[in-house]
């Protein structure tokens, strides 16, 4: 359930109240006339079940509330109310499957910022994976996958492509491109430094590495795994299942592939660097494609559910 805080212009307040009153998924409606000061208007509070939230937010925007007022939404962790239970029963669909598009756009939009924290995490993750490649240690590879923050911009790119937000597309591509380039350059430098210190050497890269050589030997299953991870990642994002997202991060070799590119390039092993680069491209493109298809299916499912729900009412 979401808690909505709406500042409605005085001339639109009655329409907003009528809209919220007529929506079965809305409950706990309260109106504070003239309470808002900046911007001025009426303060309207309510709770809305997640399966109805997207339609309510879209209707409020169609009334122009956001242009002269404001709309804020936050999660309600606990609600003890018979009225809320009735709203959940009357609203079509399941709250666990509901997609609130404005919430997803806001959440993923934050992940496109090319911040210092994002760069440091990606650099650190790639350096850890680079050491894991040389030591043939899956534990280090898995740890690097979890640390890597690259799924945020990937998810933002999927949502931006779906909503045709060119500005967000550009920021997402920039975050991914600059982030991976910086991480690979840092890993090349760290590999040279560790080699000079006598901690690693080229023979470690050229030796048999049965536990991690899949990173630079992409095959058809690499594409399949990328697609499946993209589906799971987008579902975990839209349904707020953070545990599933951790599993997605562990399953896709984006950061390890970038690390293997850097380590192989540091030693001039270009065939392995090329294979790792191909693995990286395959996984990134598969995740984006699967994410877009997942959003398409979710949108189509909710449109179909809304249409089936409206037909009996019209009859």
Per-domain residue ranges of the chain? 2-96, 104-301
The 3-class secondary structure across 63-95, one letter per residue, is CCHHHHCEEEEEECCCCCCHHHHHHHHHCCCCC
Taking phi over 0 as left and psi of -120 to 50 as alpha, with beta for the rest, 79 belongs to beta
User: How far is 43 from 30, CA to CA, in rounded Å?
Assistant: 8
Q: What's the pLDDT at 249?
A: 63
For each of the chain's 315 residues, which pLDDT tens digit applies? Answer: 899 999 999 999 999 999 999 998 899 999 999 999 999 999 999 999 988 888 899 899 999 898 999 999 998 888 888 998 888 888 776 666 677 878 877 777 677 778 899 999 999 999 999 999 999 998 999 889 888 888 888 888 988 898 888 888 999 999 999 999 999 999 999 999 999 999 999 999 999 888 888 888 888 888 998 888 888 888 877 776 555 555 556 666 789 999 999 999 999 999 999 999 999 999 999 999 998 998 888 877 767 766 665 544 443
* CATH, domain 2-96, list 3.90.580.10, 3.30.70.120, 3.30.160.620, 3.40.462.10: 3.30.70.120
Q: What is the pLDDT of residue 236?
A: 79
Claim: this prediction has a pTM higher than 0.75: yes
Spatial distance between the Cα atoms of 9 and 87, rounded to a whole number of angstroms: 27
pLDDT value of position 124: 95
Distance between CA atoms of residues 183 and 174, nearest Å:
14
Three-class SS state of 40: strand
pLDDT at residue 268, rounded to an integer: 94
95 class by beta-carbon count within 10 Å (0-12 exposed, 13-18 middle, 19+ buried): middle
Strand segments, DSSP code E, in the chain are 2-8, 26-37, 40-48, 70-75
């Amino acid at each position: 359930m979401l808690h909505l805080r709406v500042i409605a212009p005085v001339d639109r307040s009655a329409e907003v109240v009528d809209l919220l009153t007529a929506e079965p998924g809305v409950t706990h409606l309260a109106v504070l006339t003239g309470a808002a000061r900046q911007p001025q208007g009426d303060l309207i509070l309510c709770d809305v079940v997640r399966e109805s939230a997207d339609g309510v937010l879209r209707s409020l925007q169609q009334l122009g509330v956001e242009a002269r007022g404001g709309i804020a939404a936050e999660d309600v962790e606990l609600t003890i109310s018979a009225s809320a239970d009735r709203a959940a029963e009357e609203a079509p669909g399941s709250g666990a499957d509901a997609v609130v598009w404005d919430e997803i756009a806001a959440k993923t939009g934050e992940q496109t910022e090319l911040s210092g924290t994002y760069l440091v995490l990606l650099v650190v993750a790639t350096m850890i994976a680079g050491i894991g490649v040389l030591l043939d240690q899956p534990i280090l590879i898995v740890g690097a996958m979890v640390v890597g923050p690259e799924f945020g911009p990937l998810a933002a790119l999927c949502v931006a492509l779906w909503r045709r937000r060119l500005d967000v597309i550009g920021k997402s591509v920039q975050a991914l491109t600059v982030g991976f380039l910086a991480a690979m350059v840092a890993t090349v430098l760290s590999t040279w430094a560790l080699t000079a210190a006598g901690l690693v050497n080229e023979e470690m890269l050229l030796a048999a590495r049965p536990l991690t050589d899949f990173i630079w030997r992409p095959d058809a299953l690499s594409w399949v795994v990328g697609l499946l991870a993209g589906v799971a990642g987008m579902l975990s994002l839209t349904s707020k299942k953070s545990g599933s997202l951790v599993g997605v991060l562990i399953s896709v070799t984006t950061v390890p592939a970038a690390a293997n590119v850097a380590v192989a390039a540091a030693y001039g092993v270009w065939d392995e660097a090329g294979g790792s680069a191909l693995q990286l491209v395959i996984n990134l493109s598969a995740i984006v494609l699967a994410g877009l298809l997942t959003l398409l299916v979710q949108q189509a499912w909710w449109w179909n559910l809304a249409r089936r729900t409206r037909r009996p009412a019209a009859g």
